Amino acid sequence: MNKEQAGGKFEQLKGKMKETWGKLSDDDVALYNGKREQFLGKLKEHYGLAKEDAERKVEQLERSL
């Protein structure tokens, strides 16, 4: 996978995240890239998910692409 393909996949993932979790801001979603723990914290904060549930849901979205 080249750099453009990887960037495209990341953009798709960001779009899916915003679609799935509409309460997340662009800044919240940007945390996913490099600050995953903080991103998971935002999911917990906005949706009341346990850390394990948040991780599982993110992994499901990642696999769906």
- Spell out the domain ranges in the chain: 3-64
CA angle 12, 53, 9 (to 5 degrees): 15
CATH of 3-64, one of 3.40.50.2000, 1.10.150.130, 1.10.1470.10, 3.30.70.20: 1.10.1470.10
Q: What is the residue-wise DSSP string for 37-48?
A: HHHHHHHHHHH-
pLDDT at 5: 74
Read off the pLDDT of residues 7-50 as tens digits, 9 standing for 90 and up.
778 888 889 999 999 999 999 999 998 999 999 999 999 999 99
